[in-house]
Amino acid sequence: MAEAAIFLNSGPLFSGERLETMEDLADWKSVDAEAQLAFDRIRETYEKHSTLLAGGPTAVETRYFLVGPVLHALGFTHTVFEPVELTDGRVARVDHVCFGSGAEFGEAEPSRGSVSFFRSALCIGRAVEWGNDFTTTSAAPVRQAAVEEGDDPVPAPPMPQPLEAGIAPTVELDLLLRATGKDFGILTNGNEWRIYHRSSSSQRETFFQADMIGAMKSDFEDFKRFYLIFRKEAFVKTDGITCFLDSLLA
């Protein structure tokens, strides 16, 4: 495992010992088939849009052509650009709200536009343009929302006002985690994928990061590590209290 080049456990967010012993977990030994399927789907997406990526896609293009398909490959049902009111009364947007299934989204949909909408979500996501180093803001996102791959788009609520210009994505994700009450948030530029936890997200430098393309180009075990940490099941509270990612926290 080329962890130094592909993975960064900053802070640290996760226990180094638990990360090093992931290969001893039952899940590690049982997910080869589903990890391979995710690998194939993500590689197909990456290769299909290689020309676009080489040209430096916008935030909207990155979200639509790469981040969305990767979230689907990781098992999530997600909507995009959902409004949430911050503690100071401003209305911000959440790029991706990730649910465990279309049925769970359907149960939450009547409360769309309120903080209750996020209650059953597994996590939230903030996506910026390809190559963004997470220190600069990007342009306004799309208005639409998707449920599951292949389904018709679901109209999003009215477009809220974005936060002030120049706010760093790391700062914005911290605000969104607090406004939605979710424990985990994903920050990505399409290639680098980070996980933040609400208890330490205000510190900005406490996160776990994976170079997804680097993991795909490395040996399969590196991609499997990425898959185990970012897949839907890692965020599901199987006992109603804790999830796989909770068990990794430092």
Per-residue pLDDT tens digits for 79-93:
999 999 988 888 899
Whether 75 and 231 have beta carbons less than 8 Å apart is answered as yes
Buried/exposed 22-45: b ≥16 CB within 10 Å, e otherwise: beeeeebeebeeebeebbebbeeb
DSSP state of 249: B
Q: Work out the angle between the directed axes of helices 32-48 and 220-230 (0-180°, nearest 10).
A: 100
Reported pTM: 0.89
pLDDT band at 43 (very low <50, low <70, confident <90, very high): very high
Compute φ and ψ for 134, nearest 5 degrees: 75, 15
Rounded mean pLDDT of 83-104? 92
Taking alpha carbons only, the member of 85, 162, 151, 144 closest to residue 117 is 85
List the structure tokens of 35: 């990890």
Partners of 120 in the β-ladder = none
Residue identified by tokens 């910026």 is 128
pLDDT in tens, 221-239: 999 999 999 999 999 998 8
